[in-house]
Amino acid sequence: MSKEMLFDIEIFRPCTSEPEGQALTVLQRFGAREAWKTRGLAGVKLTLSEAQGLARILEDSGAAVFIQPDQYREPVISMTEARALAQKKLDELTSIEGKVFGPLEDGVEQWMWWRFYVDHIPSQKEGREPGCIFIDIDKLDGHVATTEDARQYKRWQT
């Protein structure tokens, strides 16, 4: 018996006008009726289709949002642990590609990952943007984010 994944809404640009009643009803159900006014997680636990519906209504009211699994509200992997994992990945890349990378920069928090930046020296010399690579570490299990993770994340948004 598998438990269905539930989703939350991350509001990174609040609504410019009050969303329609259906969105307010959903938010109220979770004690988050005013969530549309501020940045951050709305604090809802919805099925994917419900989360996508709420996201559409909020976007129609001027918000910018991301849909993410609700379990990411409380990371299991700390920034310190993630940094060690990112350094390990950088060491692997360096052993394969040589000394083409700068040092691991401080991490920043993303929705589902801790993101670390590393200068890619050949790209910078050629003037290519962004001139770095990103090493994203999943906040729940510590794996390095993959292309498939990005595809899945994109599917949740549509």
- Other C-beta atoms closer than 10 Å to the C-beta of 9 total 27
**So what's the pLDDT on residue 1?**
33
Length of the chain in terms of residues written:
158
pTM: 0.84
**So what's the pLDDT on residue 111?**
86
Work out the average pLDDT over 68-83: 95
